[in-house]
Amino acid sequence: MDLRPLLRQASASVQDPETGFTPLHAAIAACSPEDEDTVDGPNQRQNGQLKEETTSDDLEAAVKTVKLLLQNGAIWNDLDNNNETPGCLAHRLGLKELYELMVDAGVRAELLLSRLDEYEQLENSGEEDDEDVTDRDEPDIPEANLETKGVPTEQMNVDVNSEGYLRSELTFQDDKLLDADANGVMMAWEADIMKRTADLLLPKPGLRVLNVGHGLGIIDTYFQSLSPQSHHIIEAHPAVLAKLRRGGWYEKLGVVIHEGRWQDVLPKLVQENLVFDAIYFDTFAEDYKALREFFSEYVIGLLDPQGGGDGSGGRWGFFNGLGADRRICYDVYAKVVELDLSEAGFDTEWEEITVPDLDKSGEWEGVRRKYWVLNKYKLPICRFLD
């Protein structure tokens, strides 16, 4: 059946009231090598007509349909009643090609969204002549494509903002740091990630490192164990600063603590011409825009292009928690950030680290919301492009 005439009359993002399926969900589900339990649940079997396996013809047809729907404004991250985006469904059904198509659609939508956001900021800052900025100049894209729906993360925590967080009371427990609303600011399960990051950033003793966000001090403790020549720490929360003081960090040889937000501290460090062999960024209650500002405005000036101990160039990294409460969002954001990093002049290498089952080990007990649901962490190490 030719979809094109239908798409001329109706939206590509209508939803079935019973299942919440959009045409994208339906196209992907139709290609499933399912048994009755895999797609819609046990009650949805239609006349015993479900297929045993996906043929390459089915897949080809589904790929074509998905592409056509996307070209006609279908939204990549609409949720069905099973709380799945079309990409989640493709992933659950093991349909890799369709999953990748949905990831790429997500990347395009998120990049467009961020460019439009920049454009709006320009508009608001009055750098554009008001008369030139009219609706007619705006690309014709569906409104919902502009939402970062489903992308709350440790950094992009929808109901937490930086100002509120920095004023809030913190609770330090043995294995976690919580804010006043019991949001997990830092948790001990991240220790393996911190250790591996520290080892990759400081491959030998005697290097200069800058860490933004002390938290539980996990990565700073690993950095110390790697005997850096100098170790700068930027921290903004008064309770974390008090803990740094109690822990004797201010007296440690080579350690320099900068009290305040990185947004206020870094311009001074740039002015002082300080450079580092390694930089790490892991803050809380800040959005992706903050991370992008960090690397495009500051890392460029603070990372030594001849550094790294062997002249191969400094390295930097960040806690990669963007979109980590939904697999497809994590994959979309890894690509978005890699593209933005490349635009800012950085090459990124990713290393996968296995994350144990955090539900099983009871990690989330007493924590308001899980910010991590995945079994693999993508660890980024960035250097200047050649």
Q: Which two tokens stand for residue 31?
A: 């290609």
State in angstroms the smallest separation of the CB of 350 from ligand SAM: 19
State in angstroms the smallest separation of the CB of 320 from ligand SAM: 12
Using the minimum distance from each CB to ligand SAM, give the nearer residue, 12 or 160.
Answer: 160
Using the minimum distance from each CB to ligand SAM, give the nearer residue, 263 or 296.
Answer: 263
State in angstroms the smallest separation of the CB of 6 from ligand SAM: 48
State in angstroms the smallest separation of the CB of 192 from ligand SAM: 11
Using the minimum distance from each CB to ligand SAM, give the nearer residue, 230 or 263.
Answer: 263
State in angstroms the smallest separation of the CB of 262 from ligand SAM: 4
Q: Which two tokens stand for residue 370?
A: 């899980």
Using the minimum distance from each CB to ligand SAM, give the nearer residue, 63 or 239.
Answer: 239
Using the minimum distance from each CB to ligand SAM, give the nearer residue, 75 or 240.
Answer: 240
State in angstroms the smallest separation of the CB of 216 from ligand SAM: 4
Q: Are 21 and 10 in contact (CB under 8 A)?
A: no
Q: Using CB positions, name the residue nearest to ligand SAM.
A: 215
Question: Using CA atoms, how far apart are residues 302 and 230, in angstroms rounded to an integer?
Answer: 14
Using the minimum distance from each CB to ligand SAM, give the nearer residue, 107 or 185.
Answer: 185
One-letter amino acid for residue 74 of the chain: A
Q: Please give the C-alpha separations between residue 254 and each of 191, 201, 230, 248, 320, in angstroms, as whole numbers.
A: 23, 17, 5, 13, 28
State in angstroms the smallest separation of the CB of 308 from ligand SAM: 21
**Contact positions vs ligand SAM (CB under 6 A):** 162, 185-186, 194, 212-219, 234-237, 240, 261-263, 282-284, 286
State in angstroms the smallest separation of the CB of 191 from ligand SAM: 8
Q: Which two tokens stand for residue 249?
A: 């960090």
Question: Using CA atoms, how far apart are residues 226 and 199, in angstroms rounded to an integer?
Answer: 8
Using the minimum distance from each CB to ligand SAM, give the nearer residue, 91 or 258.
Answer: 258
Q: Are 152 and 183 in contact (CB under 8 A)?
A: no
Instruction: Please count the other Cβ atoms lying within 10 Å of the Cβ belonging to residue 122.
Output: 12
Using the minimum distance from each CB to ligand SAM, give the nearer residue, 94 or 238.
Answer: 238
Using only the alpha carbons of the chain, give its radius of gyration: 23
Question: Using CA atoms, how far apart are residues 341 and 71, in angstroms rounded to an integer?
Answer: 27
Question: Using CA atoms, how far apart are residues 377 and 372, in angstroms rounded to an integer?
Answer: 10
Q: Are 207 and 309 in contact (CB under 8 A)?
A: yes
Q: Are 195 and 222 in contact (CB under 8 A)?
A: yes
C-alpha closest to that of 355 among 336, 338, 333, 370: 370
Q: CA quadruple 212, 213, 214, 217: dihedral positive or negative?
A: negative
